[in-house]
Amino acid sequence: MHRLIPFFITFSFLWIACESDDNIDPVGTLSIKMSDDPFPTDLVKTANVTISKIEIRGEDSLLTLTEVPQELNLLELRNGVTASLVKLEIPAGSYDQARLIISDASVVMKNGPTYDLKIPSGAQTGLKLFIDPPIQVEGGLTSELLLDFDVSKSFVVQGNIDTPAGIKGFIFKPTIRAQNLSTAGRLRGVVQDTLSQIVGNAQVWVETDSVVSFTITDTTTGEYGILGLPEGTYTLRATKQGYDTVSVVNTLITAANETIQNLILTPK
């Protein structure tokens, strides 16, 4: 049975600390990048957000990292591809909260209208993203934070794509999961059919008692990639219309390592 799976977009924030040569306050270099697992491309041309400010909270204060607005088409980022948001030195220490200010969001449909979405007040004043455990920026070490943007909850469809009236718009409710990449792993692989032909646009997801993260295979290569998975054991699943769903239980994810798991789909 073909099941409906939520779509996730992932923001990959790399917090990179390097040694300081002075004897004052040590600093680390902060590099922020963005990645995603895409919104369904069969209906949507672009899904855009503008991040106008990024802050991070340390032990004593809130530090502004950038106030340069950056518009991102989230559909250009998939399967581990990242877009750099900011890179700078920050004081070494513990950081337990990131804050994003989102000023604009829109969805452009294929052969259809553009929907300019209303930004909720929380995102306008600063969307608080708690980091648990906190990111430790230390000289000579690398710490990474992944922000998993749940598109199915963040871009809520108004209307029904299976009716003549179709989609009438979207409500924007940004929902993001924060995951410390220094204690997480990643999963990659290729999806093929029983004739060893690649299967593009196949749905791939991992779950425990619920869906943890989701992606779609590359159209050309059949490759998939899921970042920021907490260490543990998962069930990996894949499907596409016209194929049976395949499951791989006991897929082991190890912190700071990459697991390779290829999948074979059987035509119905």
194-237: per-residue pLDDT in tens?
Answer: 999 999 989 899 998 776 788 888 889 999 999 888 889 999 99
How many Å apart are CA 237 and CA 248, to the nearest integer? 6
Amino acid 80: pLDDT: 72
Amino acid 221: pLDDT: 95
Residue 193 exposed, middle or buried by CB count within 10 Å (0-12, 13-18, 19+) = middle
Mean pLDDT within 179-196: 89
Clarify whether residues 189 and 248 are in a common domain. yes
Mean pLDDT within 235-262: 94
Mean pLDDT within 161-175: 80
Is 1 part of any domain?
A: no
Q: Quick check: 260 and 251 in contact, CB under 8 A?
A: no
Residue 258 sits in which domain range?
185-265
Is 3 part of any domain?
A: no
Clarify whether residues 49 and 21 are in a common domain. yes
Indicate if the pLDDT at residue 5 is higher than 70: no
Is 127 part of any domain?
A: yes
Which residue type, as a one-letter code, is found at position 120? Answer: P
Which residue type, as a one-letter code, is found at position 246? Answer: V
Choose from 11-20, 33-42, 250-259 the range with maximum mean pLDDT. 250-259
What confidence category does residue 72 fall into, taking pLDDT thresholds of 50, 70 and 90?
confident
Clarify whether residues 63 and 149 are in a common domain. yes
Choose the final residue of a domain: 183, 214, 229: 183
Indicate if the pLDDT at residue 239 is higher than 70: yes
HEC profile for 10-62?
EEEEEEECCCCCCCCCCEEEEEEEEECCCCCCCCEEEEEEEEEEEEEECCCCE
What confidence category does residue 61 fall into, taking pLDDT thresholds of 50, 70 and 90?
confident
Is 94 part of any domain?
A: yes
Clarify whether residues 15 and 115 are in a common domain. yes
**CA 45 distance to own-chain centroid:** 18
Q: Which helix (H) or strand (E) holds 239?
A: strand 232-239
Clarify whether residues 230 and 118 are in a common domain. no
Which residue type, as a one-letter code, is found at position 127? Answer: L
Clarify whether residues 104 and 195 are in a common domain. no
Judge if pTM exceeds 0.85: no
More confident residue, 147 or 22: 147
Clarify whether residues 209 and 138 are in a common domain. no
Choose the final residue of a domain: 166, 183, 200: 183
Clarify whether residues 136 and 200 are in a common domain. no
Is 105 part of any domain?
A: yes
Q: Quick check: 185 and 259 in contact, CB under 8 A?
A: yes
> Based on the structure, what is the number of domains in the chain?
2
How many Å apart are CA 171 and CA 194, to the nearest integer? 40
The region of weakest confidence among 164-173, 228-237, 244-253 is 164-173
Amino acid 17: pLDDT: 37
Clarify whether residues 194 and 87 are in a common domain. no
What confidence category does residue 162 fall into, taking pLDDT thresholds of 50, 70 and 90?
low
Clarify whether residues 207 and 162 are in a common domain. no
